[in-house]
Amino acid sequence: MLEYVRLGVAKGPLFSQATPEASFAHGIRNMKPFHTNTTREERQEWFAQTPHWDRVPASVIDSILDGIPDNAMLDAFVLTSMEQNLVPSYESLGRQSTVPAIIRAQVSHILCLTGNRAIGLLARGLELNDADGAEKAYQLVMNAFEPAIALAKNQVVAYAGISAAYGMVSRRSESHEYAKRGLAELAEMRRLAPNVDRNRVFPPEALDQMEQHLRSLLAW
């Protein structure tokens, strides 16, 4: 598990000098910082009173709180969601389905889209020797994909993304660990649904492509 610092910045050995930004957008600079909430009730009240979050259905908020029990990761998730303007994407969730597992999978998917964009930014920063840009992209990769896994353990895209990011910064052991975890989740998905109405969502060719990608990460 990664170490998280305030304002949604993941700190690891590669970027150990990361510092949080002083403020963030979306009109919440004067609001009570999320990390000062210590109980579930305080967090629920904070969401209900904070601009943008106050439009997210309670069923979505509760699903997120249930899915991310780690306080530091939850703090990182909340602030990354604001900094990346993801909160409006959460507003429509919970209207078609109130099943917590489905809601968490939907939030996880939104986080993965952000994480995938960050992978591209990380590659670009490393290519240009832009240490600051690469550091910020690396932090975003981790702060998007780690909560995505917490919300949906079988989110194979997130394991692949973290594995790729670790590989880009020459952390081979960690890269292989996440690739193997992704392959294990993929095998479990196939075991639970071999014939699969679920193929409409996860067509066999998509699972095959993801397996190939994860195995290619093990070759790094």
pLDDT, tens digit (0-9, with 9 covering 90-100), for 129-154: 999 999 999 999 999 999 999 999 99
The identity of residue 27, as a single letter, is: G
Do residue 12 and residue 69 come from a single domain? yes
Between 61 and 199, name the one with better pLDDT.
61
Do residue 39 and residue 70 come from a single domain? yes
Do residue 79 and residue 184 come from a single domain? no
Burial class of 139 by CB neighbour count within 10 A (0 to 12, 13 to 18, 19+): buried
Give pLDDT, residue 220: 81
Do residue 139 and residue 161 come from a single domain? no
Do residue 218 and residue 174 come from a single domain? yes
Do residue 140 and residue 43 come from a single domain? yes
Domain-terminating residue out of 116, 131, 152 = 152
Structural domain harbouring 41: 1-16+24-152
Give pLDDT, residue 194: 61
Domain-terminating residue out of 152, 173, 194 = 152
> Which value, to the nearest 10 degrees, does the dihedral of the CA atoms of residues 58, 91, 66, 33 take?
-90
Q: Is the dihedral of CA 49, 53, 57, 61 positive or negative?
A: negative
Do residue 124 and residue 167 come from a single domain? no
Give pLDDT, residue 158: 98
Domain-terminating residue out of 152, 170, 187 = 152
Do residue 78 and residue 44 come from a single domain? yes
The per-residue b/e assignment along 161-197, b for 16 or more CB within 10 angstroms, e otherwise, is bbbbbbbbbebeebbbebbbbbbebbeebeeeeeeee
On whether the CB atoms of residues 69 and 110 are closer than 8 A, the answer is no
DSSP state at residue 36: G
- Enter the tokens of residue 204: 């066999």
Do residue 129 and residue 160 come from a single domain? no
Q: What is the pLDDT of residues 65-110, one digit of tens each?
A: 999 999 999 999 999 999 999 999 999 998 888 999 999 999 999 9
SS (H, E, C) 48-103: HHCCCHHHCCHHHHHHHHHHCCCHHHHHHHHHHHHHCCCHHHHCCCCCCCCCHHHH
On whether the CB atoms of residues 159 and 29 are closer than 8 A, the answer is no
Give pLDDT, residue 9: 39
Do residue 36 and residue 107 come from a single domain? yes
The region that residue 14 occupies, defined by phi over 0 for left and psi between -120 and 50 for alpha, beta otherwise, is alpha
pLDDT band for 34, please (50, 70, 90 cuts). Answer: very high
Please give the angle made by the CA atoms of 142, 23 and 52, to the nearest 5 degrees. Answer: 80
Asked whether residue 171 carries a pLDDT value surpassing 70, the answer given is yes
Q: What is the pLDDT of residues 48-57, one digit of tens each?
A: 999 999 999 9
Give pLDDT, residue 94: 86
Domain count, the chain: 2
The region that residue 207 occupies, defined by phi over 0 for left and psi between -120 and 50 for alpha, beta otherwise, is alpha
Q: Which of 32-36, 137-141, 163-167, 204-208 has the lowest mean pLDDT?
A: 204-208
Which are the contacts of 118, defined by CB distance < 8 A and separation ≥ 6? 137, 138, 140, 141, 144
Asked whether residue 11 carries a pLDDT value surpassing 50, the answer given is no
Do residue 113 and residue 188 come from a single domain? no
Do residue 35 and residue 139 come from a single domain? yes
